Amino acid sequence: MEIDVIGGDIIKTESGAIVVGLFEGKKSLDGDVASIDRALEGVISSLIKSEEVKGKLDEVNVIHSLGKLAAERVVIIGLGKKKELTTDKIRGVIAIACRQLKKQRVEYIATVNYGEGINKIIAEDSAQAIAEGALLGLYSFKKYMTDKEDKKADIKKITIVCSRKTSINLVKKGVDKGRIIAEATNLARDMVNEPANYMTPSHMAEMAGRIAKENKLKIAVLDSEKMQELGMGALMGVAQGSCQPPKFITLDYKGKRNGGVELALVGKGITFDSGGISIKPSSKMDEMKTDMAGGASVMAVMAAIARLKPRINVIAMVPAVENLPSGSALKPGDVLKAMNGKTIEIISTDAEGRLILADALGYANKLKAKRIVDVATLTGACVVALGHVCTGVFGNDKEMIGKVINAGDVAGEPMWQMPMNEEYKEQNKSEIADIKNAASGGAGAITAAQFLAEFVGDTPWAHLDIAGTSYGDKERKYYTKGATGVPVRTLVNLVMDISRRK
């Protein structure tokens, strides 16, 4: 879909529909809505008077213009209370309007840069939000539908009409940034929605190759032999039950000519999590094709930052592995040795994420990464605690955690910090090895994070548990059913933030 920015008057802009925002509780109309209302001979003000149109957040009303405007329709979208408008609401509202118009088979849309100037929202940011909201909201995964009927009705173009010439360049800049970030998010969604018989560890490595080639990133894919040599016994233990060979993928972005790795982004890449010998119940097991969402998101972030070009060196690492039961599979009671020398007693083969991450974190330390952020669909316990709204944030460094939460706020991907009291470590103690991979006694998301902490050492680190937020079973805001692409946009913001502050 094309997003065009022009100067001019929205009333004179030809399109299938004009999208305009309306605040809740407005008695008199002003700006663009007022001139559209005048052209429509007062239809909008009359609808407001009769309380058929209220401006409540996400409310959508479509009016035919019957030749009174250059556009065939006007869509009035509710922006909610003016004081409460945020960039995230701008994203949500345009997404809802676009989906409605797609259903009505409208192909060309015009809108203003709504939100600009309200609650300190600058022109660039509202434009970015409009671009992101539209591109994210119109996402669909129809690759395996043989009936392509739905594909015919795509929105072809959105034109943002700026009445003030001064903001055109800023709006264009915002749209470009929004497009880069939304496309990366949709790339992550595509990877996560892909069935696990296609999205194997080898296919993930191929995708990484494609991302590297398109964006001129350095790529390395370590195979089992190399993993063995590096002593990645925990990762190898998870991989041993599957016929699919594991792949350890790294993507390297150098925004500076010299200097080491300033940030390592580590993503859990379990391409299918059956639970292994500690097999999961069959209900909803299909959703476990999304257990590589952390890996997909860090790969997508690399695609975005390669285009945004911040001055920072970042590496993404994805241990990609399939977790299956078989005659050669890992068993409860087994003991594995991780790359950092620590031994792990296996209590549950379903707590496999922390095992592959243990070695990925070890590798990040071997490369002397200055900071580490890992992203993982790590625990069902995190879904119990925070549902599908907030991502759980854990870590060993206040500043890193703060930066992540802030980056999430800006993205509209809410994060919630979870406690990391020393006492929780007790629950991970093993009688026969240095640590065990599953604890009893509650707080499963925290004990999992405490397990990871043992492999991070002193490096400033934040851990994001996205088990609840990476996938949704209903349409919401600019999310469609299935993969959400969380936390791609947060991580892009984080990288940009760290690159600016030094």
Binding site for ligand BES (CB under 6 A): 273, 291, 348, 350-353, 377, 379-381, 383, 438, 444, 467
Instruction: Return the one option of ligand BES, Zn ion, none that residue 413 interacts with (CB less than 5 to 8 A, by type).
Output: none
**What is the closest distance, in whole angstroms, from the C-beta atom of residue 350 to Zn ion in the complex?**
4
Instruction: Return the one option of ligand BES, Zn ion, none that residue 404 interacts with (CB less than 5 to 8 A, by type).
Output: none
The tokens describing 203, both together, are 């296919």
Alpha-carbon separation of residue 206 from 175, 199, 200, 252, 353 (angstroms): 30, 10, 10, 15, 22
Query: Closer to ligand BES at the Cβ: 338 or 438?
Result: 438
Closest CA to 376 of 441, 424, 317: 317
Query: CB of 465 within 8 A of CB of 445?
Result: yes
Question: Which residue in 37, 190, 291, 322 binds Zn ion (CB under 5 A)?
Answer: 291
Alpha-carbon separation of residue 132 from 129, 136, 150, 153 (angstroms): 5, 6, 22, 20
Query: Closer to ligand BES at the Cβ: 259 or 442?
Result: 442
Strands across the sheet with 73-80, in order? 2-7, 157-162, 108-112, 17-23, 73-80, 60-64
Core vs surface per residue 381-408: b (16+ CB within 10 A) or e: bbbebbebebbbbbbbbeebbebbbebb
**What is the closest distance, in whole angstroms, from the C-beta atom of residue 125 to ligand BES in the complex?**
32
C-alpha Rg value of the chain to the nearest Å: 24
Of the candidate spans 104-112, 270-278, 311-319, 383-391, the one that interacts with Zn ion by CB under 5 A turns out to be 270-278
Query: Closer to ligand BES at the Cβ: 125 or 350?
Result: 350
Q: State the DSSP H helix or E strand holding residue 271, giving kind and residue range, or none if neither.
A: strand 269-273
Instruction: Return the one option of ligand BES, Zn ion, none that residue 383 interacts with (CB less than 5 to 8 A, by type).
Output: ligand BES
Question: Which residue in 21, 174, 267, 353 binds Zn ion (CB under 5 A)?
Answer: 353
- Cis bond before residue 281 (omega within 30° of 0): no
Does the active-site annotation cover 354?
A: yes
Query: Closer to ligand BES at the Cβ: 76 or 234?
Result: 234
- Residues 382, 353: Cα–Cα separation, whole Å: 14
**What is the closest distance, in whole angstroms, from the C-beta atom of residue 76 to ligand BES in the complex?**
39
Instruction: Return the one option of ligand BES, Zn ion, none that residue 124 interacts with (CB less than 5 to 8 A, by type).
Output: none
Which member of 99, 177, 354, 477 is catalytic?
354
**What is the closest distance, in whole angstroms, from the C-beta atom of residue 182 to ligand BES in the complex?**
24
Query: Closer to Zn ion at the Cβ: 126 or 240?
Result: 240
Query: CB of 287 within 8 A of CB of 337?
Result: no
- Closest residue to ligand BES, Cβ-based? 380
Query: Closer to Zn ion at the Cβ: 289 or 403?
Result: 289
- The reply to whether 273 sits near Zn ion by the rule CB under 5 A is yes
- The reply to whether 465 sits near Zn ion by the rule CB under 5 A is no
Number of residues that bind Zn ion (CB under 5 A): 6
Instruction: Return the one option of ligand BES, Zn ion, none that residue 467 interacts with (CB less than 5 to 8 A, by type).
Output: ligand BES
- Residues 36, 343: Cα–Cα separation, whole Å: 69
Instruction: Return the one option of Zn ion, ligand BES, none that residue 456 interacts with (CB less than 5 to 8 A, by type).
Output: none
Which member of 157, 280, 425, 476 is catalytic?
280
Question: Which residue in 32, 132, 350, 413 binds Zn ion (CB under 5 A)?
Answer: 350
The tokens describing 266, both together, are 């580590």
Instruction: Return the one option of ligand BES, Zn ion, none that residue 348 interacts with (CB less than 5 to 8 A, by type).
Output: ligand BES
The tokens describing 78, both together, are 């509710």
Does the active-site annotation cover 280?
A: yes
Q: Hey, CA dihedral for 376, 380, 384, 388, is it positive or negative?
A: positive
Query: CB of 238 within 8 A of CB of 321?
Result: yes
**What is the closest distance, in whole angstroms, from the C-beta atom of residue 379 to ligand BES in the complex?**
4
- The reply to whether 267 sits near Zn ion by the rule CB under 5 A is no
Sequence-separated (6 or more) residues with CB below 8 Å from residue 119: 82, 83, 85, 86
Of the candidate spans 245-253, 297-305, 348-356, 389-397, the one that interacts with Zn ion by CB under 5 A turns out to be 348-356
**Burial class of residue 89, CB neighbours in 10 A (0-12, 13-18, 19+):** buried
> Quick one: how far is CA 130 from the chain centroid?
17
Which residues sit at the interface with Zn ion, rule CB under 5 A?
Answer: 270, 273, 291, 350, 352-353
Catalytic residue positions, numbered: 280, 354
